[in-house]
Amino acid sequence: MSHHVTFNDLPQGGEKFEPAKGGKLIGSLGLVGLLGLIASGYFFFAKTDTFAYSWLFAVFFTFTFVVGGCFWILLHSASNSSWGVAVRRIWENLANMILALGILATPLLIPAVQKPLYEWMNHHRAAAEHAHHDHSTVKEALHHMTVGDEAKKIEANPHLHILVEKFGYLNISNHFLPPFSWQVRFVLYFLILWHIARTLRGKSLKQEQDGDIKHTIAARAFSCRWLLFYALTVTFASVDWLMSLDYNWFSTMWGVYIFAGCAWASMALSILVLTWLRGLGYLNKVVTDEHYHLMGKLLFAFTVFWGYIAFSQYFLIWYANITEETRFYLTRNTEAWRGVSIFIVVGHFVGPFLLLLSQPRKKNPVVVSLVCIWILFMHLVDIYWNVIPERGPSLGLGYWVPGAWVQDLAALCAVFGTMGFLYLRGLAKYSLYPWRDPRLIESVNVVN
């Protein structure tokens, strides 16, 4: 048994991160973010329609990490765990990026951006116009548009029937304000996540003042309550932003599918950040191979969970073959997207599954970190595969828009680069681990 670490072995005040030490990575992320923002600014005005998809893709990709970070602190507190105290601050800081991300997400509230993305909003806006003239409700106007009206030269569009049926949930604030319209929910998601992230880090920081266990207990009670709202937030956010790209399509597994990816990718990211910090000489006293093993196990668990959910969703939809459901997979199972689909099965599930199966590999920081880089790439492919195939058909540009990948790259650099820059710089604000948490010693000496 190695030496049992006590509080006396650890520095007073924890470890403070100096951004200058990690200047290379932080600087390049900042540069990439800046260049991405400039390019995005150009594309935003020059190619609004195709770029809207790029921006949604980039924002949602980054959003999944923040959401995942939020999940790990919630789970860690709610399950009364002690093993992760030494690495908890990494998740806390990750979750607290939600506000900065909210600012980058605001373009999605602009009608000109929504127009190419969400077809249903266009129908709703048209219906609102009709309703304004006829002094009827928007829902009635939508119904009129479904059946058509020759006197007013409105062509019948039977597809809109489903929008009438979904009106209770899927609606926007236009000439009126329904209590839970798309926009209101959009703001609410960020507020809920911000509240969770801020409260849990707040309790953790207060504990650094007095070292009292009562903050841990309060965090546990808070987490148990807010896990419910967290789950609802992730589910409905993915429904609102991605599923409604095709208003005909629906999948009851969608929220879980996205959540599985969130937890998976954010765990990979936090392992990478951990390895990076340890390479710079931080956290070496509190984090051991055992933590890598534990985090690797969770990574493995979510590899399997994602595979299970992704397959179930595919299996039920593809073999049930109901027209409005199958369209999602029909788009992704034909033409070039078919190759991407198969690549995701192998790269997102089979590869990580086999790589993470053995214990010595999970305990080896170098091996795990290499796997994590691959995982981040596969998560990127997964989100890309979910968002981008809608672009061509929705805009009437074929299944693949040539050259639009440059815009996707620009948006990705802008959002991920900027957020990465802010996140890593933000690490310097507090100690890298909660140094007065009474269970820190338990975490440092963890054996599994």
Partner 1 sequence: MSTTLKRVHGYLAEFDSVQELYHAAEHVRDAGYQRWDVHSPFPIHGMDKAMGVSRSKLPYLVFCGGITGTTVAFILQTITQTNFWSSIGLGFLEKIVETYPTVVQGKPTDIWTLPAFFPVMFELTILFSAFTTLFGLLALIGLPRWNHPLFASKRFPKFSDDGFFVCIEARDPKFSQEGTKSLLEKAGGKNIELVEDEV
318 binds partner 1 (CB under 8 A): yes
205-230: buried (b, 16+ CB within 10 Å) or exposed (e) per residue? bebbeeeeeebbebbbebbeebbeeb
In the complex, what is the shortest distance from the CB of residue 358 to partner 1, in angstroms, rounded to a whole number?
A: 8
In the complex, what is the shortest distance from the CB of residue 253 to partner 1, in angstroms, rounded to a whole number?
A: 15
Q: Pick from 4, 320, 336, 339: which binds partner 1 (CB under 8 A)?
A: 320
Nearer to partner 1, 1 or 228 (CB): 1
Nearer to partner 1, 93 or 288 (CB): 288
334 binds partner 1 (CB under 8 A): no
In the complex, what is the shortest distance from the CB of residue 387 to partner 1, in angstroms, rounded to a whole number?
A: 23
**Binding span for partner 1 by CB under 8 A among 126-134, 148-156, 183-191, 352-360:** 352-360
Nearer to partner 1, 48 or 251 (CB): 251
45 binds partner 1 (CB under 8 A): no
Burial (0-12, 13-18, 19+ Cβ within 10 Å), 372: buried
In the complex, what is the shortest distance from the CB of residue 324 to partner 1, in angstroms, rounded to a whole number?
A: 15
Size of the site for partner 1 (CB under 8 A): 12
**Binding span for partner 1 by CB under 8 A among 173-181, 242-250, 351-359, 363-371:** 351-359
In the complex, what is the shortest distance from the CB of residue 333 to partner 1, in angstroms, rounded to a whole number?
A: 9
Nearer to partner 1, 187 or 357 (CB): 357
230 binds partner 1 (CB under 8 A): no
Chain centroid, CA 232 distance in Å: 14
**Separation CA 99–CA 55 (nearest Å):** 17
- SS3 of residue 149 by DSSP: strand
Nearer to partner 1, 315 or 405 (CB): 315
Burial (0-12, 13-18, 19+ Cβ within 10 Å), 392: buried
Q: Considering only CA atoms, which of 368, 294, 288 is closest in space to residue 1?
A: 288
447 binds partner 1 (CB under 8 A): yes
Q: Pick from 63, 300, 314, 430: which binds partner 1 (CB under 8 A)?
A: 314
349 binds partner 1 (CB under 8 A): no
Burial (0-12, 13-18, 19+ Cβ within 10 Å), 420: buried
Chain centroid, CA 3 distance in Å: 40
**Separation CA 61–CA 366 (nearest Å):** 25
- The angle at the Cα of 176, spanning 170 to 177, to the nearest 5 degrees, equals 60
Q: What is the DSSP string of 331-399?
A: HHTSTTHHHHHHHHIIIIIIHHHHHTSSHHHHH-HHHHHHHHHHHHHHHHHHHHHHHGGGHHHHHTS-S
Instruction: Map the footprint of partner 1 across residues 355-394, applying CB under 8 A.
Output: 357-359
Nearer to partner 1, 307 or 426 (CB): 307
Q: Are 386 and 19 contacting, i.e. CB atoms less than 8 angstroms apart? A: no
Binding mask 4-43 for partner 1 (x = CB under 8 A): ----------------------------------------
Binding mask 271-310 for partner 1 (x = CB under 8 A): ----------------------------------------
Region for 211 from its dihedrals, namely left if φ exceeds 0, alpha if ψ lies in -120 to 50, beta otherwise: left
Q: Which residues bind partner 1 (CB under 8 A)?
A: 1, 311, 314-315, 318-321, 357-359, 447
